[in-house]
């Protein structure tokens, strides 16, 4: 065995001749990794503020968010290590569609802020339905309605009814 990576045709993981091609998306991936770590760390801090379980063996309402955030931190850290090792994990080679990104960010904030007023399940349904309209595709309104109803059904049926979690 040699210390060189095998060159597989069609693979983005093989080293290219010249340093520019191997670091084509370095800054995009570095920013994405750092934002992901910050997001999951803040999610962990917020989950630690939730009340602990009430009896021995009761995990409490903060258990699942804490587990999700710890898993997210681990995955984000692995992603960051891969980026710092110089592995090109892909990214946008064209200009980033800033209005679409800002639209999704605004929609995310609107859903989070309105969940207490109209309910989390309904907010998730409306938010995901509207989000699909920001992307091109066939039959956008049918796709938006199907996505919105699907997310509403998951939030309401699975989390609200089946797991009996108190949703805002």
Confidence category of residue 155, pLDDT binned at 50, 70, 90: confident
Query: pLDDT, tens digit, for every residue of 70-93?
Result: 999 999 999 999 989 887 766 666
Would you call 40 exposed, middle or buried from its count of C-beta atoms within 10 A (0-12, 13-18, 19+)?
buried
Lowest mean pLDDT across 26-30, 91-95, 137-141: 91-95
Q: What is the pLDDT of residue 39?
A: 92
Q: What is the pLDDT of residue 55?
A: 60
Q: Is 104 left (phi over 0), alpha (psi -120 to 50) or beta?
A: alpha
DSSP assignment, residue 101?
Answer: H
Instruction: Give the end-to-end CA distance of the chain in Å, rounded to a whole number.
Output: 57
pLDDT at 53 over 90: no
Give the span between the Cα atoms of 100 and 135, in whole angstroms: 8
Q: What is the pLDDT of residue 136?
A: 84
Lowest mean pLDDT across 4-13, 81-90, 118-127: 4-13
Give the span between the Cα atoms of 14 and 99, in whole angstroms: 34
- Looking at every residue in the chain, the average pLDDT score rounds to 79
Which whole number is the average pLDDT over 106-116?
Answer: 88
**Where in the chain does DSSP place strands (E)?**
none
Residue found by looking up tokens 């929609």 in the block? 107
- The three-class DSSP label of residue 136 is coil
The first and second tokens of residue 25, run together, are 């998306």
Q: What is the pLDDT of residue 59?
A: 66
Q: Tell me if 34 sits within 8 A of 80, measured CB to CB.
A: yes
Q: Tell me if 44 sits within 8 A of 66, measured CB to CB.
A: yes
Does the pTM surpass 0.75? The reply is no
Would you call 33 exposed, middle or buried from its count of C-beta atoms within 10 A (0-12, 13-18, 19+)?
buried
């Amino acid at each position: 065995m040699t210390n060189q990576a095998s060159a597989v045709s069609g693979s983005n993981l093989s080293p290219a001749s010249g340093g520019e091609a191997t670091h084509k998306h370095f800054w995009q991936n570095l920013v994405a990794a750092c934002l992901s770590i910050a997001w999951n760390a803040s999610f962990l801090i917020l989950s630690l503020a939730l009340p602990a379980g009430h009896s021995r063996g009761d995990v409490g309402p903060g258990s699942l968010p804490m587990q999700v955030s710890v898993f997210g931190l681990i995955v984000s850290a692995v992603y960051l290590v891969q980026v710092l090792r110089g592995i090109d994990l892909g990214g946008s080679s064209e200009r980033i569609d800033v209005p679409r990104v800002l639209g999704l960010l605004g929609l995310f904030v609107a859903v989070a802020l309105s969940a207490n007023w109209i309910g989390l399940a309904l907010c998730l349904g409306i938010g995901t339905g509207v989000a699909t309209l920001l992307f091109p595709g066939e039959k956008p309104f049918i796709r938006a309605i199907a996505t919105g109803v699907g997310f509403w059904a998951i939030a309401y049926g699975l989390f609200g009814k089946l797991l009996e979690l108190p949703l805002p």
